[in-house]
A and B are shown apart, each in its own frame.
Chain A
Amino acid sequence: MVRQNYILRLVSSLWHLAQGLYITMLNFLRPKVTEQYPENRGKHIYFERFRAELIMPHDENNQHRCTACGICQMNCPNGTIRVTSSAPRILDRHLYDIGSCTFCALCTQTCPQRAIEFTNSFEHSTFTKGPLVKQLNRPGSSLKTASE
């Protein structure tokens, strides 16, 4: 009885081990899933909604929709955004520190003008911290007027 069990267990063990080997061999022969990053630039599709960087869209006249109301700055939990304005509705600088951004999207969700949005360009690595602070409004840009 005991001897029979011993043989039986040995055989069933070998059978299960063989099943495992079969699975790994199956995967050995399957196409590989690795994404080869720098090579697949341009070929690989990045999802549109992926939150990677905050931007302020400008139109062809170098105009944006930001009224410098500061709601994004107020809503940001991490002090990522700093809005400065010298006069009401005139934006001087919209500074965005990507180094402290957690991509919670509260700024874009609460912006009354839909002036800022997230894009999926994710290549942010720099050698120093300095370039991580970005000015979102372009130099010389102005507020889009209502008529346009």
Chain B
Amino acid sequence: MNIFLQYILLGVAILVAYAVLALILIYVERKVCGFFQCRIGPNRVGPWGVFQSVADMVKILLKELVHIDKADHVLFRMASFFVIIGSICTFAALPFARGVQAIDFNVGIFYVLAVSSLGVVGILLAGWSSNSKYSMIGAMRSGAQLISYEISSGLSLMTIVVLSGTMQLSEIVEQQSDLWFIFRGHVPACIAFLCYLISGHAETNRGPFDMPEAESELTSGYHTEYSGIQFGFFYLAEYLNMFIVAAVASTMFLGGWQPLHIPGLDGFNAVMDFIPGIVWFLGKTFFCVFLALWIRWTFPRLRIDQLLSLEWKVLMPICLVNLLLMAVVVIW
């Protein structure tokens, strides 16, 4: 009984953290986007508009779920759950601070990769079942895109696995207590970091890789026909996926919740230790999120053939060579 209660509490805690983070991310995105575009961004609801995303959430909860004629209703309703479950499962595996981690497998990184690709099933289902031509094109693009970029994101994470010798996330973070992997792994780690940022960005369907949505041609791609909270699920998952990619990047490359330590400077290290781990983790993650936003609001969208040639002709060869290079570095 006790353990059962524990599970429920844990589940609720994760869901709450998930929702709250999504609201924060939506606000941050809109504000940062505004600043990049010489605008102020939301500033009406609450001071500096901080409650804007709360207001949006209330609105989305109150909205009608539109019934689509001739859609495949079972799949149509199911699709949004696939997307959000995939993203919540990944979210649960993230190490927020020492011990603050819901699932700590010994194949943690493998689990993250596996579960996060569940989302593509939802997207494909959404596009197929909504009986809309725009959605269909969006879903097909999304399928091609996610399957391709999974490879290079996996390969770049494997580079770090080679360096650390373990797949367990908590263990990987522990190992970085002296020096973060991006510094310790020499050039290959830096290249892997860049590759992971690009391919992770592409996996989350965000600009400049937002072809599945492509608002200028497909209106909004696979979720064109969704409304109300079902659209909300896609929306939440999109933002949380961005957070998850940033969090995995910071865990694997930037030391997760470990403070910045420089070997030899003991005083400095001691000062850094005073900052709690959760702050370090969120700080690094939001830094990666900011990078993602910066890129999104600068570049135009790629065309589907450019996207695929970027993956298969540029990113994947680089990742493969990089993996070899890392193996060489580790052996020496």
Contacts and interface: CB of A to CB of B under 8 A. Distances in A.
A and B from one complex: yes
Contact of B298 (A21, A30, A32, A33): A21
B295 A30 contact: no
Interface residues of A, number: 14
Given A10-B314, A32-B35, A24 B40 contact: no
Nearest to A22: B298
Contacts of B36: 24, 27-28
Interface in B264-298: 294-295, 297-298
A126 interface: no
Contacts of A10: 314
The secondary-structure label for the interface of chain B is loop
Interface in B1-49: 34-40, 43
Contacts of A21: 294-295, 298
B332 interface: no
Interface in A1-39: 10, 17, 20-21, 23-25, 27-28, 30, 32-34, 36
Nearest to A38: B44
A126 B108 CA distance: 60
Contacts of B39: 32-34
For the side of the interface on B, what is the size category? Answer: 10 to 19
Contacts of A20: 298-299
28 contacts: A10-B314, A17-B299, A20-B298, A21-B294, A21-B295, A21-B298, A23-B298, A24-B36, A24-B294, A24-B297, A24-B298, A25-B294, A27-B36, A27-B37, A27-B38, A28-B36, A30-B38, A32-B34, A32-B35, A32-B38, A32-B39, A32-B40, A33-B39, A34-B38, A34-B39, A34-B40, A36-B40, A36-B43
Given A27-B38, A28-B36, 20 more contacts: A17-B299, A20-B299, A21-B294, A21-B295, A23-B298, A24-B36, A24-B297, A24-B298, A25-B294, A27-B36, A28-B35, A30-B38, A32-B34, A32-B35, A32-B39, A34-B38, A34-B39, A34-B40, A36-B40, A36-B43
Interface of A: 10, 17, 20-21, 23-25, 27-28, 30, 32-34, 36
